[in-house]
Every structure is written in C-alpha cells, then in structure tokens.
Amino acid sequence: MRVGIIGIGMTAFRPATPEYNWKELMFEAASRAYADAGVDPRSDVDSFLTCAEDYYEGFGIFDEFVPDQLGAALRPTCTVSGDGLQGLANAFMQIETGLVDVAVVEAHSKASDIVTLEGVIEHALDPVWNKPLGAHPFVIAGLEADAYLRATKTPRKALAAVVQKNRRNALKNPLAAYAAKLEMDEVLSSEERFAPLRSLDIANPADGCVVLVLGSETAATKLHANPVWIRGVGWASDSPSLETRDWAGGEYARLAAAMAYRLAKIRRPSTEIDLAEVDDRFSFKELLHLEAIGLAKKGEAGKRALRGDYGADGSLPVNVSGGSLGCGNVFEATGLHRAAEVALQLRGDAGIHQVDGVQVGVAQSWRFVPSATGAVAVLGVGR
Amino acid sequence: MTARISRWPGIELTAADLHEGKVTQTRFRPDAKYAWSAGEAMSRFLEELQNGRLIARTCRKCARVLFPPRMFCEECFRPTDAWTYIRDTGTIETFSISYLDTDARRIPEPILVGVVSLDGASPKMGMMHYFGGMTKDEIRIGMRVKAVWKPKEERRGSVLDILGFRPLGEGES
C-alpha cells in the first residue's frame, strides 16, 4: 500500500515567538495542514503523533499537553521522543498496518522558552564518562568537523560555501528566520567557536511548528488529494560512545539512507534523486551527510559545494529552503520541516524558491549534538 | 515479600557514607532554566488575575464558555470568538485531603485541595485550588465556594493571586 503526504502546514520560523505559547504555535501549523489536506481533524484523522523531547519543552510527559491544539482530544495520540522524521516513519508504519487511514505528524521548537540552551543540551552527555569534563556540548561538533575535514581533505573554504549558499537561499523563503547575503570573507573570519567551526558555521535556534497529514492511497483518493508519496523511510543510530563512533563518515546517515533506498527501490541515488534537504545545523554536516547518503562520492562534496553544484540552479539543489543555517535550528522539528520542504517542491508549491522539474527528493535528519542518530525519507510524485 | 526479609545481603550504606565520600559517585546539577511564553490567552488571563477578575473565551459554534481561556476550541477545532468575564464563585467538583507534603512528610493540618466548577463558565470548566475556612469534616462535593484573593498590591499575575476558596456564605454572591 502506498502512503502519501496529503497536507502540509508550517508556521514561520522566528528567533523568538513571545506572542504565542507552544499550543498556539501548534494550532496555527495544524490549522494550515488540515486546510491544505481538506480534512476535519475531529472526524477524518485516525491517529496523531507528535515529536517532542521533554527536556526541550521544560516539563515532563509532554504527550499529555498535545491533544487540544491538534484537534486530537479523545482520539489516539502518541509521542515519539525523537526527530520529526522518526515521527514520520512511525506514522507511515501505522498506515501500512491498515489500522489507520489518515495520520497526523507534528513537531515543533519553542527554543526561545529555554533560558539555558547549552545546559539542556549538555544534559544529554553520558553522566559518568563525559559530563564531568564540563566542556561545551558543541565541542563534539568541532571534533566531528575536524575529523571530517582531515579524512576527506575537504578545504575549510567549502564550509563557508555551504553557509553562504544556505543563508542566501533563505532570502527566497518567506518562512526563514536567518536569511542573509554574506560575503565569503565574513564567514571565514567570523568568531572562532569550536575549531574548525566559527560562529557562522552554527545554525541559530528558532521557534516554529510543522504539521503533516499522511494518508493511505485509498484515503488520498477519497479526499481528492494531490499526494507526495513516501517511497521509503529509514533510521539508524551509531554508538552513543564518543570514543567508538564513526567520526568522519556519518554512519547513522548511511545506514538510514540504505534502509530508505531499499524500500524506495533506489539503486543509484546520485542519478535518481533530483533534490535534497539534509541536516546542516553545523555547516560541515551538509557535506558529511551528502556523502553518507550517497549523493556525493567520499571527499567530493566540498569540491562540488565550491563549484556551486548544490545551488538552487546546480546539478543537485541542496537545502533550497535555506536549511537550518537559513531557517534556524528548530530542534525536533528539523527533519519534519525538511520533509515538508521537499514535499512542497515536488508538488510545485514552493513559491519563489521552486526548483523546476523535480520528481524525487530526499529529506535527511540528524538528532543534533551529542547524538549519532538520523533518519531519511525518500519522497516522490507521479509513477 | 520485603516483610519476610530481616537482613538484606551486602553492605548497608548510610547518608553519612555518601557525604563523606566513602562511596564512588558522580554529581551533576543540570543547568536547565526555562521562561515559557504564556501566549495570547494565558497572558490576558494572568493580567486579569491582578485585577481580581477571571476571564474566559467563548466558542460560538459549541456555545461554550471556555475557562481557563484558550485561543482555540478543542471540541470544534476552530479559533475561539470573544473574551468574557466569569464569576469567582463556584461548586466543588472533586476534592482530596492531603496528609503528606510534597516531600512525603506527614503534616499536622491536612491540606484540602480540589477542583471548582466556576459560575459563568461551561460545565466542567474551572480551576484546581486549595480550600480554607472549612475543616476536612465539613468539605463536601457540591459545596458552594468563593475565591479568597490576595490584597491587590501583592498580586503578581499567578494562580496564587487567589489564596484559595472558602465556603460561600448564606445569601452571598
């Protein structure tokens, strides 16, 4: 049975949203998604999934706070404590069981509610083994960036090309929080943070919410939807141990992609995929992820980035939305946002950042520092 | 099962052993601070508390008065329509007598806590709070109660601007 995305709803991504609480943010994205799908959540939706991590929310059992603003009161709901693409994979499977025809996936960020963001992220480190060192958690991204640049002989300048491209792409995305036209020199000389990473290599936090409505093929037909098919999903985790994980190759992403490609029957991703949205919350991650999911040969992503291959008019448009560098780091909503962006592109509804003639796209997510967990979704239209 | 075991195997540890460093341990105090945006509905609600008033939102479709106020109706899944004040009197829906404090210590005077349905709001709409001016033997479901407000200068825009609910007097409103 085929499963499709039949409704897309997003709020704008903003550095802070003091005018809304998280419920009101969710209500806005949900209202947009249901209107897009033409569904009434009170009668047409069989299951609701939300992706949230209590530590980001600041209170326990976030699940309990979900139903009202999603139209899910007295309906089946559950929470995936993970990235939005992991939620998408779970909703996909619920529909594949035949138990559910229409499912809703929600993910959001209210990062502006977190006063001590570094402290909250630091709390994810192993309490006995790594945490006593007291280092800033983003040092882990610095370690990985260093290992990646060395192993692949990627020039440092390639990271700046990623930053420049994604911030510039965001200028054409009205939802993006951090659109900017930056000069290469500005990026290369921005403040040193976690070498080799500088301040502009790191995505800034943002608030926002994404809601997708998924339906079985039967439901999609009944609702006269214009579905974007979920051709494959995959997810994987490397070791949580910082000492044993693969530093330079993004093994979690490679395995997640292998699973998704197997389901989607994609044998040569570099020729079969027209467009990609990959996690770029640290600039080098975009390049590392492109190589891990088979869209660039090992060590070539940086060179291709410098050649402009990943621009909106390049041979493989990557993060045309602006990515996380341009839209903001929306934490657990990151993967779902990117799936939404791919779906809009495939539907031809991406507005002024629309890329022509795209049929198959991939969204890839990572669960942020200090994780080595990621997910991949392959989306397509037609055929 | 534990009642039948008088002595557990192994070495018994005391609090002093932990304090004196006789036990290998790791300590970490998470730096997790939050400042939640109250949002459109709750911000107005908290502001009105400082004026000694309770405010709600109405939904035209289901004709309910929603309290505490929210910008969306969870029954109809649509935006709510208007602000309206409700009264600070109501009826006890359910209550419990708490003999333990939050640290599980027995307290001499038990705390009376419960949910009040407020007058002017739709059924099953109200707030959880403390009860005063009554004993644990007097409190009952269906009892009519009224909010006891803090003095105006002490109100901070918190549910604690109400100290609790006391019995509503004869002929009082």
Q: pLDDT for A321-371, tens place per residue? A: 999 999 999 999 999 999 999 999 999 999 999 999 999 999 999 999 999
Give the closest residue to A79 by CA, choosing from A69, A92, A68, A91: A91
The pairing of strands B106-118 and A3-10 is unpaired
Extract the residue ranges of chain A whose pLDDT is less than 70.
Answer: 383
- Asked whether B118 and B165 are in contact (CB, 8 A), the reply is no
> Are B37 and A17 a contacting pair at CB < 8 A?
yes
Q: Which of B14, B136, B119, B29 is nearest to B65 (CA)?
A: B119
Measured in angstroms, the CA of B22 and the nearest CA of chain A are apart by 17
Of B31, B70, B71, the CB nearest to A119: B31
CA distance linking residue B118 with residue B93, whole number of Å:
10
Domain edges within chain B: 39-167
CATH number of A137-204+230-380: 3.40.47.10
Instruction: Measure CB to CB from residue B77 to each of A42, A116, A119 and give the nearest one.
Output: A42
The topology under which CATH files domain A3-116+206-228 is Peroxisomal Thiolase; Chain A, domain 1 (3.40.47)
The model's pLDDT over A195-241, given as tens digits with 9 standing for 90+, comes to 999 999 999 999 999 999 999 999 999 999 899 999 999 999 999 89
Task: Give me the residue spans of the domains in chain A.
Answer: 3-116+206-228, 137-204+230-380
CA distance A86 to chain B (A): 25
Write down the pLDDT at residue B1: 57
Asked if A15 is an interface residue toward chain B (Cβ–Cβ < 8 A), one would say: no
CA distance to partner chain B, nearest, from residue A19 (Å): 6
Query: Alpha helices, DSSP H only, in A97-235?
Result: 117-122, 139-152, 156-169, 184-188, 217-222
Note whether B31 contacts A: Cβ–Cβ < 8 A. Answer: yes
* B72 inside 8 A of chain A by CB: yes
Q: Are B47 and B155 in contact (CB under 8 A)?
A: no
Burial code of A129-168, b = ≥16 C-beta within 10 A, e = fewer? ebbeeeeebbbbbbebbbbbbeebebeeebbbbbbbbbbb
pLDDT of res. A333: 98
pLDDT for the residue A82 = 96
DSSP letter, residue A17: -
State the 10-residue block means of pLDDT for chain B, 173 residues long.
Answer: 77 87 87 96 98 98 98 97 98 96 89 97 96 96 98 97 96 83
